[in-house]
């Protein structure tokens, strides 16, 4: 059987099995087709040799008729497969179900004509259930299993209660120690065992192929991600010093010019400084975002989280006061000591508080809370500002993303603060969540471990 992998460029339809495509299903159907030729040939051979050749008292006509029906059905499947290309996975799956139900009914009729419960070939039901488990998903596999159980139980009790005729298998029962019966039992036992081993090996090969494919995809993605980071790092490095030089040059010109500068010239220079400060911020943010391997053992230190949050908030009180914003600080009691990278935590707190102030409404309130949750510590930054649309809440952690409302509120902003926050929080072993209602404000909750350690990749 061919072991087709889903084409990685082909979207996977979650309504169907994720391991099969229409073409791979058709390949399997063709394989069952071959198995069925073999099964029909087996029925004819055994019946003709035992019943006609050796004149054993078996249901020759009934068995040959059932074998003939199997042959006819298989010919129909075969012709259909040749005539129509496999395009729709749902149609192929329906066809597999029809074939499987047909096979189970045929097997039950064959067993009924050849001893029923006396016949060791009843193991063949197991093979059908295994095939079903290869092709279908949970509920459908059980449907096939229950159909097999129902058919054979009905056959056995049908015979028991004389609703169905019993065709004694001449080599069974009193002949349990005779070679033909032993060989027949062993034969079906071998068949089932080998089939199980074959199917197991096939599944494993298939899984390994999928795993290999995933590993290849993952390494390609990782290489692309590294290339992107390297590019950012290169650009940051290259533009850092020209931007700094330009900013200090314009600032110096402003200082030197002093009062002698014409108001229009001063205005132009001041706007240039403001834009250059923005560019410096972008460069700084990009540097933070692309910096790797900060979480090293030697960078870890004991940090009083209450103190760190207080100092970071205090540094932004002037900015808040300019818009009449009040910042409320609620610290943990007793204080919490973290083993962490101080400047990473500072960056996280500073960015969140800064955003809360910038996206607040005029004279709004920002609350910053530190909560001790036992093994972890939680920082909750809440504001009463513009808020974030629900469909944008997942996007604001993407590089350069700025919500429509934020862009309308201010054109200052890089869209790099939250990606940095998320990167640092994750490196420190923490999590970040956002909750917001447009026009009512936003709540950012960061949870950090008391002790950060370098994670194995
Ligand atoms: P910046 O603030 O520089 O645009 P950030 O990465 O810090 O970049 O934030 C990304 C976006 O997330 C912002 O542009 C804004 O749309 C949204 N955002 C972040 N914090 C808040 C907040 N407290 N209230 C409303 N929107 C916010």
Map out the domains of the chain with their CATH numbers: 22-222 (no CATH), 297-449 (3.30.565.10)
Residue count (the chain): 457
- Of 3-17, 112-126, 132-146, 420-434, the one with minimum mean pLDDT is 3-17
- 402 in contact with ligand 1, CB cutoff 6 A: yes
Spatial CB neighbours of 257, under 8 Å, sequence gap ≥ 6: 265, 266, 269
Q: How far apart are CA 184 and CA 203, in angstroms?
A: 28
Phi, psi of 179 (to 5 degrees): -55, -45
For 218-248, the pLDDT digits (tens) are 999 999 988 988 888 888 888 888 888 999 9
Q: Whose CA is nearest to atom 7 of ligand 1?
A: 417
In angstroms and rounded to an integer, the radius of gyration of the C-alpha atoms of the chain is 37
| Residue 307 pLDDT exceeds 60 | yes
Distance of CA 243 to the CA centre of its chain: 42
pLDDT (average), residues 6-29? 58
| Residue 18 pLDDT exceeds 50 | no
Give residue 296 CA to ligand 1 midpoint distance, Å.
29
pLDDT (average), residues 111-124? 86
For 158-184, the pLDDT digits (tens) are 988 999 988 887 766 665 566 776 677
| Residue 13 pLDDT exceeds 60 | no
If one residue of 417, 432, 436 were mutated to test the ligand 1 pocket, choosing by the most ligand atoms within 8 A of its CB, it would be 417
pTM: 0.56
Number of helices followed by number of strands (H, E) in the chain: 12, 7
- 421 in contact with ligand 1, CB cutoff 6 A: no
Phi, psi of 53 (to 5 degrees): -70, -60
Q: Whose CA is nearest to atom 16 of ligand 1?
A: 403
Q: How far apart are CA 67 and CA 39, in angstroms?
A: 9
For 319-377, the pLDDT digits (tens) are 999 999 999 999 999 999 999 999 999 999 999 999 999 999 988 999 999 999 988 99
What is the structure's pLDDT at 216?
93
State the DSSP code for 361: P
- 360 in contact with ligand 1, CB cutoff 6 A: no
What is the structure's pLDDT at 455?
61
| Residue 8 pLDDT exceeds 60 | no
- Local structure of 164: helix, strand or coil: coil
Residue 400 to residues 86, 222, 362: CA-CA distances in angstroms? 45, 20, 25
Q: Whose CA is nearest to atom 2 of ligand 1?
A: 413
What is the structure's pLDDT at 233?
82
């Amino acid at each position: 059987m061919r072991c087709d992998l889903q084409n990685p460029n082909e979207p996977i339809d979650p309504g169907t099995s994720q391991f099969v495509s229409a073409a791979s299903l058709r390949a399997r159907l063709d394989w069952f087709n071959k198995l069925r030729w073999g099964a029909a040939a087996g029925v004819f051979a055994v019946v003709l040799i035992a019943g006609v050749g050796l004149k054993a008292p078996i249901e020759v006509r009934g068995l040959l008729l059932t074998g003939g029906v199997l042959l006819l059905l298989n010919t129909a499947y075969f012709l259909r497969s040749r005539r129509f290309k496999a395009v729709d996975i749902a149609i192929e799956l329906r066809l597999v179900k029809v074939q499987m139900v047909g096979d189970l009914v045929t097997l039950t009729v064959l067993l009924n004509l050849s001893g029923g419960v006396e016949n060791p070939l009843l193991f063949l039901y197991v093979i059908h259930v295994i095939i079903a488990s290869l092709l279908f998903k949970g509920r459908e596999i059980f449907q096939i299993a229950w159909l097999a159980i129902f058919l054979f139980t009905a056959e056995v009790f049908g015979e028991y209660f004389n609703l169905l005729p019993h065709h004694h298998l001449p080599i069974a029962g009193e002949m349990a120690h005779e070679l033909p019966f032993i060989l027949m039992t062993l034969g079906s036992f071998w068949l089932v065992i080998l089939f199980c081993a074959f199917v197991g090996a096939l599944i494993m090969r298939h899984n390994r192929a999928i795993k290999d494919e995933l590993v290849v995809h993952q390494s390609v993605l990782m290489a692309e991600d590294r290339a992107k980071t390297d590019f950012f790092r290169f650009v940051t490095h290259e533009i850092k010093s020209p931007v700094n030089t330009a900013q200090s040059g314009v600032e110096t010109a402003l200082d030197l010019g002093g009062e002698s500068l014409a108001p229009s010239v001063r205005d132009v220079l001041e706007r240039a400084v403001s834009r250059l400060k923005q560019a410096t911020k972008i460069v700084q943010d990009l540097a933070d975002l692309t910096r790797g391997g900060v979480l090293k053992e030697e960078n870890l230190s004991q940090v009083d989280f209450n103190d760190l949050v207080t100092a970071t908030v205090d540094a932004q009180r002037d900015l808040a006061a300019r818009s009449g914003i009040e910042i409320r600080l609620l610290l943990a009691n007793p204080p919490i000591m973290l083993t962490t990278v101080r400047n990473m935590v500072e960056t996280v707190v500073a960015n969140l508080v800064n955003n809360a102030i910038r996206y607040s409404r005029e004279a709004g309130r920002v609350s910053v809370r530190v909560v001790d949750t036992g093994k972890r510590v939680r920082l909750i930054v809440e504001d009463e500002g513009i808020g974030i649309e629900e469909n944008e809440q997942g996007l604001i952690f993407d590089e350069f993303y700025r919500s429509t409302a934020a862009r309308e509120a201010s054109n200052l902003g890089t869209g790099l603060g939250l990606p940095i926050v998320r990167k640092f929080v994750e490196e420190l072993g923490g999590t970040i969540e956002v909750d917001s209602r447009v026009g009512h404000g936003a709540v950012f909750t960061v949870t950090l471990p008391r002790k950060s350690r370098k994670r194995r990749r």
